[in-house]
Amino acid sequence: MSLPEVAIAPFDGPSVCLFCGASDAAHRDYVQSAHDFGAAAAEAGWRLVYGGGGVGLMGAAARSAHAAGGRVLGIMPGFLRSRERLFDDVETVVVTSMHERKQLMYDQSDAFVVAPGGVGTLEEIVELLSWKRLDLHAKPVIFLNVNGFWETFFALMRHSVEEGMTPASFLDAWTVANTVEEAIDQLQATIRRTA
């Protein structure tokens, strides 16, 4: 399915998509890691692509990337504008559906970082990993595993392999970073490999 044309300002450097939660009730360690990631990505010269919200981890990452002088691209479906409170200080594209949001986030990104989040973040990353499993893309996926947040997800994926539902090679579809510094190092290594 092709998406309608949208106007997005050109960007010459690499872009990283951050999937993360939009909850203001998130633990401060998670919010701080999103803040630190946004700033570090900007300082490294990466454009931050994210879900467009001004709340929770999304808002923390976008605000810090913007404050550090980085380029930020938010992509949000119109029906979420009030719930996730659009962050208007950065370039934002409003689309009509969750499908359009995810497709544009994918199309505009060279790599993906998955910070702590809720069911929406989980839905985004499962679809992205499904695409990778089907060889529809080979872009890097890095889980930012702050305080071991994603360990139960990894356990579920290992269980799926052990039960014969998923090939063991699927466990190589992502890497894990326990800190923002590790995630940035992995992203920098990605740039060097593709340069």
User: What was the pLDDT predicted at 83?
Assistant: 60
Q: What is the pLDDT of residues 6-32, one digit of tens each?
A: 789 889 999 999 999 999 999 999 999
**93 three-state secondary structure:** strand
Collapsing DSSP states into helix, strand and coil, what is residue 60?
helix
Domain assignment present for 186:
yes
In a domain, 7, yes or no: no
Determine, yes or no, domain membership for 171. yes
What's the CATH number where 106 sits? 3.40.50.450
For the full predicted model, state whether its pTM sits above 0.95: no
Rounded Cα distance, 96 and 119, in Å: 20
CA dist 53 and 21 (Å) reads: 10
Is 3 a domain residue? no
The pLDDT tens digits for 132-175 are 999 999 999 999 999 999 999 999 999 999 999 999 999 999 99
- Specify the pLDDT at position 193: 72
- Write out pLDDT tens, residues 28-75: 999 999 999 999 999 999 999 999 988 999 999 999 999 999 999 999
Question: 4 lies in a domain?
Answer: no
When divided into structural domains, the chain yields a total of: 1
Structural domain span for residue 186: 15-194
CA separation (Å) from 19 to 118, 119, 123, 131? Answer: 10, 11, 10, 16
* Spatial separation of the C-alpha atoms in residues 52 and 178, rounded to whole Å: 25
DSSP symbols for 131-163: HHHTTS----EEEE-GGGTTHHHHHHHHHHHHT
9 within some domain: no
- 1 in a structural domain: no
Q: Which residue has the tokens 């360990």?
A: 151
The reply to whether 5 falls in a domain is no
